[in-house]
Amino acid sequence: MAVFRHSGPTLSLMTDRLDPLLRFHPFTRLNTLLQGVEPGDKRPLLFSVGEPQATPPEMIKAPLVQNLAEWGRYPLAVGTAEFRKAAADWLARRFHLPASLVDPDRHLMPIAGTRQGLFFIALAALQEPVSASERPAVLMPNPFYHVYAGAAAMAGGEPVFLPATAATGFLPDPEAIDRRTLERTALAYVCSPANPQGAVATKPYLARWLALARQYGFTVAFDECYSELYRDTPPAGALEVAAEADGGLDNLVVFHSLSKRSSGAGLRSGFIAGEERMLKRIAQLVNYGGVAIPYPILAASTALWRDEAHVAANRALYNENFALARRILGNRMGATPEGGFFLWLDVGNGETAAKRLWAEAGVKVLPGGYMARPDANGQNPGERYVRVALVYDAAATREGLERMARVLTSGASH
């Protein structure tokens, strides 16, 4: 596997200026691409953003109302004992962990949306130099969730992009990373189920990453935000691997969210669990420049982590949407993603297809090239694809997919 890095004057300035980061933000690029293009067909359908459209569970109403007085208090970065215990108990149930593995008072804290946590982990992990002559490396899949690259750049690291294509099962191959890169690595982002491709990592795969991290002394940020959206088998988690290895949490942090699991994106509520040293650093970053979760939202979140019925109903909704996609798109859909709620469609040219789908069908999708960077040969591994978020109810999803099918079958997107 080829490992490649930023090149060229624009990308090399990412640690010094904010402007390049803004220009490379995928939705900034999408807005530019579609500027002046009027949506066709009927009502526009936004399949571009991974924002669940389902109504959050009714159970959040009572704790929000019962804790109205708490809106008047500044919340602590570490949240409440009730929240931490509920989240730790959920981890133990979901991933079959020994009760002693995750101490809710030492190894877990809430975060105002895992996007914030995924950004802060780079600032936390890159505090200590790994080389006197080179910038610390931050490993990430390519394609990738845009926060990984932005966090690496703003923390002073060098984003190192690892191919995550069909040839690698849409997950980077950790064994193919050269020793010199590993020696200067401070942080690696590992996402399973993967955004955008929906690939799910096995326990042996996660174990290889943890072993490398401990051998070379870097932190692995396991992004498991889509872990509860799966087709048949619950995805494995990094904490399972740690428990089966030596029962320690060194060199790892995991991220979980209520945005996808519970359709609660507006709550901005998730948590981080893992190495105590990293959590202490992140808590201080929240104290200085982050946002702690308000107490009423923590109370509502606590109720959500204690309930699984609404999660099963949520998962069934997405699985119905994937069944619709299989029927409507047929072979064009490729393999059904194992997790998440995205389609990763090979359309020949993602930008061309995105413009046509918006202009002719009123369906907005994200060009896959906007979630990736060109490799050492100048090839962007996402260029042929579009990412399609199946976040609406079945009726709207069916309508949008049928519109897409008409456009995609009416002419090539090259």
User: Residue type for 223, please?
Assistant: D
Domain spanning 59-307: which CATH class is it, in words? alpha beta
Percent of the chain with pLDDT over 90: 87
Q: What is the pLDDT of residue 1?
A: 57
Please tell me the least confidently modeled range out of 51-55, 222-226, 270-274, 308-312.
51-55
Which residue ranges make up each domain of the chain? 7-52+310-409, 59-307
Tens-place pLDDT, residues 166-180: 999 999 999 999 999
Q: What integer is the mean pLDDT of 284-292?
A: 95
Work out whether strand 366-367 and strand 385-389 pair parallel, antiparallel, or are unpaired.
Answer: antiparallel
Burial class from Cβ neighbours inside 10 Å (0-12, 13-18, 19+) for residue 81 reads exposed
Q: How far apart are CA 108 and CA 358, in angstroms?
A: 42
What confidence score (pLDDT) does residue 18 get? Answer: 58
What's the CA gap between 272 and 195, in Å, rounded?
18
Q: How many CB atoms lie within 10 A of CB 176?
A: 12
Compute the average pLDDT of residues 293-322: 97
d(C-alpha 100, C-alpha 77), whole Å = 23
Q: Which amino acid is at 38?
A: E
For residue 15, name the pLDDT band (cuts at 50, 70, 90). Answer: very low
Average pLDDT over residues 328-351: 94
Q: How far apart, in Å, are the Cα atoms of 164 and each of 55, 58, 173, 187, 316?
A: 33, 39, 8, 17, 28
Across the range 3-29, mean pLDDT stands at 61
Class of domain 7-52+310-409: alpha beta
Q: What is the mean pLDDT of the chain?
A: 93
pLDDT band at 131 (very low <50, low <70, confident <90, very high): confident
pLDDT above 70 coverage of the chain, percent: 93
From residue 122, alpha-carbon distances to 94, 320, 384 in Å are 27, 37, 30
Instruction: Please identify which residue in the block is written with the tokens 């119905």.
Output: 320
Query: What pLDDT digit, counting tens, does each position of 84-116 carry?
Result: 999 999 999 999 999 999 999 999 999 999 999
In the block, residue with structure tokens 């906007």: 370
pLDDT tens, position by position, 397-411: 999 999 999 999 986
Phi and psi angles of residue 164, each rounded to the nearest 5 degrees, phi first: -130, 70
Exposure on the CB side of residue 291, measured as CA atoms within 13 A: 14
Across residues 339-360, what is the average pLDDT?
A: 97
pTM: 0.94
Q: At 16, is the pLDDT very low, low, confident or very high (cuts 50, 70, 90)? A: low
Q: Is the pLDDT of residue 232 over 70?
A: yes
- In this structure, the strands spanning 45-46 and 363-364 are parallel
